[in-house]
Amino acid sequence: MSHQSWAEPFKIKMVEPLRMTTRAEREAAIAEAGFNTFLLRSTDVYIDLLTDSGTGAMSDRQWAGLMLGDESYAGSVNYYHLEDAVREYFGYKHVIPTHQGRGAEHLLSQVCINPGDMVPGNMYFTTTKFHQQLAGGQFVDVIVDEAHDPENEYPFKGNVDPEKLQAVIDEHGSGRIAYLSLETNVNMAGGQPCSMANIRCVSQLCHEQGIPVYLDATRAVENCYFIKQREPGYADRSLREILLEMCDFTDGCTVSGKKDCLVNIGGFLAVNDDKLAAQARNLCVAFEGLHTYGGLAGRDLEAMAIGLVESLDENHMRARIGQVHYLGQKLIDAGIPIVKPIGGHGVFINAERFLPHIPREHFPAQALTAALYVDSGVRTMERGAVSVGRDPKTGENIYPNLELVRLTIPQRVYTQAHMDVVAESVSAVHLQRDSISGLRFTYEPELLRFFQARFESVIEKRVPTRSPETALSSSSSEK
């Protein structure tokens, strides 16, 4: 076997046909969806890069695991398989399954946050911040400055800045800090990792002052892969060893199993503290389901226990990140402004630079997601001002430094040829970028607005048209 290639360590046993659409159909579909890719029907999408969440392909072993689902209400054998796997690979003592990641965030936030508490974290994630605020906490961003600069090639842009963290502790007092919310492979920064040295350092800083540290370990294995690649001393360590070491510095984690654990639904909360676990189990019963199923079927628990182990396979993770980097490098070569270094779960286009003629208040990233969809049926997601929302105090829109379009690669789903189609489409839209216009809200939901918001063009409809030279060579989605 070649050790240079990232070629996938699997072959394909079952296929799911994709529907090709015409440009006219896509123009109608995006208008009907209010220029929000979340509101498109999946049957109108050709290559779906909206998210890697729950969209991965399960292995034959996971599918076989579904048949071993023990659907007893209480004490299902599949729960114990998951508990064993989390204990073995993450090293935490108590495991509480939840229907997905935000269920675990809800439990952790309700148990650990008192109204008025501060919750420092390395950049916000939408649902994480939402649950922290719902519990009366206030999120404070303590990520390193490099993370806010799409061009900065710092290898660990997910790191916490210890000085920013200490400043928050000094200002509010350690008693008012609920916990450090430490995300691995920071999603909103572009899938950027934390170094082990940083996790060690900030965990020590917190623990010395009596502050717990909870990981968002949703993409922890991708983070481990980057540590192995980039951090001195880790090249010969296995992903398993790196994950255990990382978790060992912390007090517990929330996980959305829909990413690295390779399942379509599921999540869990894992903690070491007995009292906290008991409280979280009580809330789990009220909000998710009995503490041995947490809103999941027994078969879902089994698939997650198996996927968790598969995610730690070295060849699997090399292929996963290799594919993302293949697409990212193609875009860099085509002169597309993307977040660097290329991240773990997707490629993030810098929409502010891609569409400099659209002012921030007309949401260039949102407009670019719509233009890409119209061009080729590729569905992407806005990760900029629309996702951030408004300042809860002033009600004003927040404009983060990062105004991004995320091309998120589901795990084990698409081929290299699909990545080529995506790169061709992004380049084609780039050539026509001047014809793309900005958007304004026609409907703005109060909570997590990006999911269901609707928009209209700020000027009369001017969608880009492709010249024959720039059209996809095979017009693959124009059948």
> Which positions are catalytic?
73, 125-126, 216, 259, 383, 450
**Does 138 help bind ligand F0G (rule: CB under 6 A)?**
no
464, 435 Cβ separation under 8 angstroms: yes
Q: Which residue has the tokens 């929409």?
A: 351
**Does 222 interact with ligand F0G (rule: CB under 6 A)?**
no
Residue nearest to ligand F0G (CB): 101
In the complex, minimum distance from the CB of residue 470 to ligand F0G, in angstroms, rounded to a whole number: 30
* Binding region for ligand F0G (CB under 6 A) out of 5-13, 95-103, 170-178, 420-428: 95-103
Applying CB under 6 A, which of residues 102, 157, 299, 320 lies at the interface with ligand F0G? 102
Closest CA to 344 of 77, 211, 158: 158
DSSP 46-99: SEE-S-SSS-SPPPHHHHHHHTT----SSS-HHHHHHHHHHHHHT--SEEEEES
Helix, strand or coil for residue 333?
helix
Q: Of 190 and 267, which has the nearer Cβ to ligand F0G? A: 267
Minimal distance in Å, beta carbon 142 to ligand F0G?
16
> Segment contacting ligand F0G (CB under 6 A): 64-72, 94-102, 107-115, 426-434?
94-102
Q: Report whether 81 contacts 305 (CB < 8 A).
A: yes
Closest CA to 51 of 239, 187, 167: 187
With b for 16 or more beta-carbon neighbours within 10 A and e for fewer, the 331-357 pattern comes to beeeebbbbbbbbbbbbbbbbbebbee
Give least dist CB 366 to ligand F0G, A.
15
Q: How far is the CB of 102 from ligand F0G (least distance, A)?
A: 3
- Which member of 128, 198, 292, 387 binds ligand F0G (CB under 6 A)? 128
311 binds ligand F0G (CB under 6 A): no
Which residues does 161 contact at the CB level (< 8 Å), separation at least 6? 142, 143, 144, 145
> From the CB of 259, what's the least distance to ligand F0G, in Å?
6
Among 125, 226, 363, 373, binds ligand F0G (CB under 6 A): 125
Residue with tokens 């007092």: 173
List residues near ligand F0G by CB under 6 A: 51, 53, 100-102, 125, 127-128, 183, 187, 216, 218, 256, 258, 267
